[in-house]
Amino acid sequence: MTMTRRRILAALAAAGGAGALTGSTASALLREREQGSLELTTGLVDLVIDYWENSAGTLNPASPDGTIDGTQLAVPLAGDSSRTVFRLSLPQSESPNNPASLWLKTDCPEGTTLAEAMQVTLSYATADGTPTTQIASGSLRAVANALRTGTRLDGDPTTPEIDCLTDELYLTIESDLGPYVGSETVSLPLSLVATQCRNTDPEENPFPADAIDARCRPAYSCDCCWTIGKVEVESGLHRGRTYGFDEGLAGYAIRVTDTDGDSGVAFELVTTGNDVPRLPLCDVTIKGGPPDIHYPRRNDAFGFDTSTLDGAIDGLIYAPENANNGGRYSISYILVSVCAPTLADGGCPDDAVNGAANVGVRPVKREKNRKERHEKPLGGVTR
Local confidence band at 13 (pLDDT 50, 70, 90 cut-offs): very low
345-354, 357-366, 373-382 — most confident range: 345-354
Q: How far, in whole angstroms, is CA 282 from its chain's centroid?
A: 18
Read off the pLDDT of each residue in 263-286 and give the average, rounded to a whole number.
90
266 and 367 inside one domain? yes
How wide is the angle at C-alpha 147 spanned by C-alphas 144 and 149, nearest 5°? 120
User: pLDDT at position 36, please?
Assistant: 33
Local confidence band at 72 (pLDDT 50, 70, 90 cut-offs): very low
Does residue 184 register a pLDDT over 60? yes
Local confidence band at 308 (pLDDT 50, 70, 90 cut-offs): very high
HSE of 287, CA atoms in CB hemisphere, 13 A = 19
247 and 171 inside one domain? no
Residues 71-110 as b or e (16 or more Cβ within 10 Å = b): eebebebeebbbbbbbbbebeeeeeebbbbbbbbbbbbbb
On whether residue 380 sits in a domain, the answer given is no
Last residue of a domain, one of 211, 237, 271: 211
Q: Give the CA-trace dihedral at 111, 218, 341, 256, to 10 degrees.
A: 180
Domains in the chain, number: 2
On whether residue 216 sits in a domain, the answer given is no
Local confidence band at 155 (pLDDT 50, 70, 90 cut-offs): very high
pTM: 0.66
176 and 232 inside one domain? no
Rg of the chain taking only CA atoms, in angstroms: 25
On whether residue 218 sits in a domain, the answer given is no
201 and 229 inside one domain? no
Does residue 284 register a pLDDT over 90? yes
26-30, 94-98, 133-137, 221-225 — most confident range: 133-137
User: pLDDT at position 282, please?
Assistant: 96
On whether residue 381 sits in a domain, the answer given is no
- Which one has a higher pLDDT value, 21 or 160? 160
- DSSP states of 360-374: SSPPPP--SSHHHHH
φ, ψ at 34 (rounded to 5°): -95, -35
171 and 239 inside one domain? no
Local confidence band at 299 (pLDDT 50, 70, 90 cut-offs): confident
Nearest to 219 by CA among 146, 78, 315, 111: 111
Last residue of a domain, one of 211, 232, 254: 211
Maximal C-alpha separation, the chain:
91
Nearest to 103 by CA among 202, 218, 171: 202
Per-chain mean pLDDT for the chain: 75
Q: Which of 123-132, 194-203, 249-258, 314-323 has the lowest mean pLDDT?
A: 194-203
237 and 194 inside one domain? no
On whether residue 219 sits in a domain, the answer given is no
71 and 117 inside one domain? yes
pLDDT digits (tens, 9 = 90+) for 188-209: 777 777 778 877 788 888 887 7
User: pLDDT at position 59, please?
Assistant: 83
Does residue 250 register a pLDDT over 70? yes
For 203, the domain range is 7-211
pLDDT digits (tens, 9 = 90+) for 171-180: 998 888 776 7
Task: State the Cα–Cα distance between residues 371 and 181, nearest whole angstrom.
Answer: 20
Nearest to 83 by CA among 107, 52, 44, 41: 52
Task: State the Cα–Cα distance between residues 53 and 30, nearest whole angstrom.
Answer: 10
On whether residue 383 sits in a domain, the answer given is no
Q: How far, in whole angstroms, is CA 376 from its chain's centroid?
A: 30
Local confidence band at 69 (pLDDT 50, 70, 90 cut-offs): low
Last residue of a domain, one of 186, 211, 236: 211
Does residue 210 register a pLDDT over 70? no
On whether residue 317 sits in a domain, the answer given is yes
Task: State the Cα–Cα distance between residues 184 and 177, nearest whole angstrom.
Answer: 12
260 and 203 inside one domain? no
Cβ atoms within 10 Å, residue 4: 11
Local confidence band at 39 (pLDDT 50, 70, 90 cut-offs): very low
85 and 199 inside one domain? yes
User: pLDDT at position 358, please?
Assistant: 47
On whether residue 164 sits in a domain, the answer given is yes
Does residue 14 register a pLDDT over 50? no
99 and 167 inside one domain? yes
Local confidence band at 319 (pLDDT 50, 70, 90 cut-offs): very high
- CB 294 within 8 Å of CB 310: no
64 and 174 inside one domain? yes
- CB 103 within 8 Å of CB 200: no
187 and 287 inside one domain? no
Does residue 168 register a pLDDT over 60? yes
Local confidence band at 345 (pLDDT 50, 70, 90 cut-offs): confident
